[in-house]
Structure 1
């Protein structure tokens, strides 16, 4: 029996369609035409003699039972191929190959694009992709080897993953410019509970924010919840309530142009540590190690996040 012939590119298209459930969405993700992706999947099905998808005209594609098993193995093959590319780069001392970066939603917009820009200009042979999500999803993706490194906080990092600390970020109260506390030099959580709260409601992060109140023996009056940092700032700036956060943006303006005030929180509050979460041994991969070094130097030079950019920093 002759060995089946297929390409890694075909497997990549198959995995993308399997994860997205749509050839059109897969086409947008990998920037390849839909007919090319359809042809690649048909070739795989013909080569292996397996129906991998059920075609549903109104609902896209769904994996068959064989397709689900095939997807698991295809991911492993692609991961091994990435490992071979990285091994070759390590042997010759080149930083090259794919690098998949995850970043916590709350600060991805103020950190990752600028870090990536300079990193990719320096290491042109590294193919970088990024994803922004909550802490729980970052951990899941690291465990499934869908991302190589995550830029995040030291929140409930499991023992099978390594946290590499970068800097501490204290808690701030965020209020509108006309809020009664806006001119305060600092504030306690006991004082904040006199006012309504807008909660940044992300898995794991929410527990950290609320724990600051629980430890003080008080409960905030949560009137609004959002998973989006920008929406939180706009709700606060428009008077819906205060919020708490560890990230202070460059500008003390909300996305709709209204002024905000960031007030340091008093008391024995655990600051979050910003850093990198990686699987065990990940720093032996040149691209991961180079990214961590570059990001560490860049953030230190910015004197950011956590306080506004100062002249000369």
Structure 2
């Protein structure tokens, strides 16, 4: 009698195996926990093996059979995705799932609107998003957990391909009472003595600090944070200045206090925002459409989103 498991059940099985819990898998595939649990139980019944050991309040651990089947399930899902992509290319249609990563520092500004505009034009596309730092995006792309990533040209490895879209020079964020807030532009030399709120993300922190190193200066780091909103709150409340490449859509911190954003003078390297993907990989009709749409949409939204 033929097996009657489904690709959806395999997807749930793989998600649980990767996340280590029903709740984690539910978040990963955006499906309710009961549906995940039911799908895995049905797959176990159909295959006639126990795939996971359930630990009370400690998640799930794959059994020996589960570990062996997990690799094969991932391979089946990749082959099914390739078949879907080939069908889409042959028909000339733009359809299917697309997983997009985005650098966490500007994901909230760019990604929701970009997703909405693309899906409004292509109703057969389902986009999921992941926000991560630069190192995490590299890892996700290499593991094929995301299809593309919207990020900066910052310490890019050679095995990934980058398509630049927009150049973003660094700007300085200041509270309205900061001693330098009255200036129309500010230099690294003027900033150096003042307390700095460093956006302390992998690769990004080294980029910002390189401005001081190149000028034979040392930044006066008073606070470190990985959260853009926290950084803006600290700056607005007088704890120091910060340096960013993407300014928020309004000049207010999360608590409503005002901020000023002024240009950083000197020969500082600007960031290029663009799309990052595996080098040399075949681009499906869906990928090509998303790349073109992203280039056009960011070009149209440059002034509104980035003030340039």
Using structure 2 for the length normalisation, give the TM-score: 0.93
Q: Give SS of 2:234's match.
A: helix
What residue in structure 1 maps to residue 220 of structure 2? 221
Give runs of aligned pairs for residues 231-270 of structure 1, distance below 5 A.
231-270=230-269
CA contact (8 A) 2:249 2:305 kept: no
Q: Does the alignment pair 1:171 with 2:174?
A: no
Deviates more, 1:121-130 or 1:57-66: 57-66
Deviates more, 1:21-30 or 1:241-250: 21-30
Distance change in 2, residues 1:144/1:30 (3 Å): closer
Distance change in 2, residues 1:138/1:28 (3 Å): closer
Give runs of aligned pairs for residues 59-208 of structure 1, distance below 5 A.
59-208=58-207
Q: Does the alignment pair 1:288 with 2:287?
A: yes
Distance change in 2, residues 1:250/1:31 (3 Å): closer
Distance change in 2, residues 1:253/1:33 (3 Å): closer
Using structure 1 for the length normalisation, give the TM-score: 0.92
Distance change in 2, residues 1:169/1:308 (3 Å): same
Distance change in 2, residues 1:34/1:179 (3 Å): closer
- CA positional deviation for 1:52: 2.0
What residue in structure 1 maps to residue 208 of structure 2? 209
The size of the alignment, in residue pairs, is: 308
Counterparts of 1:177 and 1:219, CA distance in 2: 24
Deviations 1:27-74 (A, max 9, x none): 455454444432322333344444321111121212234433432332
Deviations 1:131-186 (A, max 9, x none): 11101111111111111110000011111111001121111111101111112121
Distance change in 2, residues 1:304/1:52 (3 Å): farther
- CA positional deviation for 1:305: 7.4
Counterparts of 2:27 and 2:273, CA distance in 1: 32
Distance change in 2, residues 1:284/1:35 (3 Å): closer
- CA positional deviation for 1:282: 4.8
What residue in structure 2 maps to residue 19 of structure 1? 18
Q: Give SS of 2:25's match.
A: helix
CA contact (8 A) 2:174 2:260 kept: yes
Counterparts of 2:42 and 2:306, CA distance in 1: 54
Aligned CA-pair RMSD: 1.9
Distance change in 2, residues 1:214/1:277 (3 Å): same
Q: Give SS of 1:247's match.
A: coil
- CA positional deviation for 1:249: 2.0
Deviates more, 1:4-13 or 1:146-155: 4-13
| Structure 2: gaps spanning 5 or more residues | none
Q: Give SS of 1:284's match.
A: coil
Deviations 1:188-210 (A, max 9, x none): 11211111111111111111111
Counterparts of 1:34 and 1:307, CA distance in 2: 39
Q: Give SS of 2:208's match.
A: helix
Counterparts of 1:306 and 1:10, CA distance in 2: 40
Q: Give SS of 2:149's match.
A: strand
- CA positional deviation for 1:75: 2.1
- CA positional deviation for 1:19: 2.4
Counterparts of 2:254 and 2:7, CA distance in 1: 43
